[in-house]
Amino acid sequence: MYDGGKIIAGIIIFLAFALFPFYSNIGKADIKPPKPSLDTPVIKALKVKKCVEPEQYMRESHMQLLIKWRDSALRHAKRVYVNSNGEEYVISLQKTCLRCHSNRSEFCDRCHKYADVDPYCWDCHFSKAKQEEQR
Amino acid sequence: MGALLSFGAVVVLLLIPAIGAGALKLHSLFGVVIPYLAVIVFLVGLINRVIGWGKVPVPFKIPTTCGQQKSLPWIKHSRLESPATGGEVFLRMVLEVLFFRSLFRNLRTEKAPGDRVVYGSSKWLWVAGLAFHYSFLIVFLRHLRFFKQPTPKIIGIIESFDGFLQIGSPHLLVTGLVLFGAVFYLFLRRIFVPQVRYISLPADYFPLFLIMAIAGTGMLMRYFLRVDIIKVKELTMGLATFHPKVPEGISVIFYIHLFLVSTLFAYFPFSKMVHLGGVFLSPTRNLANNTRMVHHPNPWNYPVKVHTYEEYEEEFRDKMIAAGIPVEKQPEPREEEQPTEESEGKE
């Protein structure tokens, strides 16, 4: 091989980048996916434990529902949401979502941290933890 | 024709996982086996190509130049266009690799009235090329969030810049759109510029359609047909830690996206996209134009049998002296020969 030293050096640099996800994760096979906690007083007191939409939909698309709610409440002043079963809910992050899911750090943050998502909900809305912090 | 063929190929590639993972539920095949195979083919194939190029002898210095070669001290030397040293070559390569300097020279050729050929500046290829490559790089880096836990901070910073418009939820990421738009422009260019269409082959269209499909399914998954991102990361982290697992309930659009990306990886070393490695090994770019200063031996020259003058004289010295031919090295001085030589010298 001609200029073998330079070419091998280049290949090694390339491999260092290309294999980064593999060698940097050695010994981290025990990382478990997060389990958002439903352990809040309000949820415990519920007879039928269900969210405004089915679980699968909420897992996949809650952020789209939230933005839809924001537009509906703030831009169209419509505060009633009719879900896929025809049930009505008040459109309000504080009064509907966070009433049950009052445990932000065990519910919202667990998955958001895992998936490296940094939603800006909390720039305006208060979570209970933050409210207590501010007192 | 080439475009239709490539488009059909990509449609087939979309259908394979749609049927395989969607209808037949072969989730571990499409989620684990094929991605691993694709990465192996990519790495082995690319290194093999690069080493193959490294073994090819370059008989001449063949840098393409378009500036004054280093010459006499009062003639201005164009350092970047005709580099003479390793350092200048390095600078030229940096500008080529990072800023696609040779695409900047792209010209438009048109016929003016009276059948004259005229050339004009055409920077769109360069602009679209830059937009495409850099947005693809950022999209690629952003995906590291699926393969690291916790994700490096820099990835989050990149993503927050990428989503700075804060449109919708999840945030619209600009690079995804730019990537799709730039590839679409590069495709339109092949269709609408007659000279480019004439030289376009299926192998030119196929990567464009494939990348369009990858960007398209990616955006579809982010903005419209949502998937459970936590389960997706469970799968990808399994791949990265070599403990693969296939969580239930990931929708088929994810497997389609993953299969298309696997196709891109596996196809990479055998396609034009291998310029990822090739750009560094192009002798027209990475050689210095210093032929007046440094001898470039042709590596495939076989050893030539030479008979130097010294050896010739050694062989025939006696005869040369006898014939009166001057010799460079005098024979071993003998007592009686001394005066003859001196007299010859005087003559």
- Verify whether the Cβ–Cβ distance B241 to A29 is below 8 Å: yes
- Verify whether the Cβ–Cβ distance A67 to B169 is below 8 Å: yes
From B56's Cα to the closest Cα of chain A, the distance in A is: 8
pLDDT in tens, A97-127: 888 888 888 888 889 989 888 888 888 787 6
- Verify whether the Cβ–Cβ distance B229 to A2 is below 8 Å: no
Give domain status of residue B240, yes or no: yes
The label of the residue with tokens 């090739």 reads B278
- Verify whether the Cβ–Cβ distance A67 to B54 is below 8 Å: no
Give domain status of residue B292, yes or no: no
Q: Residue B187's Cα: distance from chain center in Å?
A: 20
Cα→Cα distances B81→A20, B103, B118, B284, Å? 36, 14, 24, 12
Give domain status of residue B179, yes or no: yes
Chain A residues lying within 8 Å of B240, measured CB to CB: 21-22, 25
Chain B residues lying within 8 Å of A19, measured CB to CB: 43
Give domain status of residue B262, yes or no: yes
Residue A116 near residue B145 (C-beta atoms within 8 A): yes
Domain count, chain B: 1
Half-sphere exposure of B137 (CA within 13 A, CB side): 9
pLDDT in tens, B131-144: 999 999 999 999 99
Which residues from B are below 8 Å from A when comparing CB atoms?
43, 46-47, 50-51, 54-58, 144-145, 147-151, 155-156, 159-160, 166, 168-170, 226-231, 233-234, 237, 240-243, 247, 249, 251, 277, 280-281, 299
Show Cβ contacts of residue B260 under 8 Å, excluding neighbours closer than 6 positions. Answer: B13, B14, B17, B210, B213, B214, B217
Chain B residues lying within 8 Å of A110, measured CB to CB: none
**Average confidence (pLDDT) over B197-225:** 94
Query: In whole angstroms, what is the distance from residue B317 CA to residue B126 CA?
Result: 69
- 3-state secondary structure (DSSP) of residue B293: coil
- From the list A2, A15, A118, the residue facing B160 with the nearest CB is A118
Give domain status of residue B17, yes or no: yes
pLDDT in tens, B51-109: 999 998 888 899 999 899 999 999 999 999 999 999 999 999 999 999 999 999 888 88
From the list B186, B195, B187, B190, the residue with the least C-alpha distance to B109 is B195
Give domain status of residue B160, yes or no: yes
CATH number at residue B43: 1.20.950.20
Give domain status of residue B337, yes or no: no
Give domain status of residue B207, yes or no: yes
A54 lies within 8 A of chain B by CB: no
Residue B173 near residue B135 (C-beta atoms within 8 A): no
Range of the domain at B235: 2-286
Query: What ipTM did this prediction achieve?
Result: 0.88
